[in-house]
Amino acid sequence: MRRDVIVANTSLLNTDWYVRQIIRRPQYDYDAAKGPSVYRNKTWVKPKGSPIHMTMEEADSVPAYYPLQSPMNFSSGELHASSIRRTSTTACSSAPTCSCCA
């Protein structure tokens, strides 16, 4: 097991406890003797801090969610997405065929 590597689960990064756990996690040195031979005889720079550049106070101040005041749009290349602002928690009478409930 590589103790010098941190794998962040992006599904959990929106939780306060997981972010604090990564911030608190110590940085370990790379152990070349236990690693693959291709990585031996090289110098690896140890990170100087947490992979998440936040203080505990900043992590604690992140809200659980951000309310959307208006529809949001995202575009990247051929990908386009929009959020839909719903005023009700129940589906409309045309569900599931209408575009607002899809």
Residue 99 scores a pLDDT above 80: no
Whole-number pLDDT of residue 21: 92
Question: In this structure, are residues 84 and 94 in contact, taking their beta carbons and an 8 Å threshold?
Answer: no
* Residue found by looking up tokens 């998440």 in the block: 52
The domain spans of the chain are 1-82
Q: Among candidates 28, 39, 37, which has minimal Cα distance to 5?
A: 28
Whole-number pLDDT of residue 22: 92
pLDDT tens track for 51-93: 888 889 988 887 777 787 888 898 999 999 988 766 655 655 5
Whole-number pLDDT of residue 77: 92
Whole-number pLDDT of residue 88: 57
* pTM assigned to the model: 0.53
In this structure, what token pair is assigned to residue 18? 């997981």
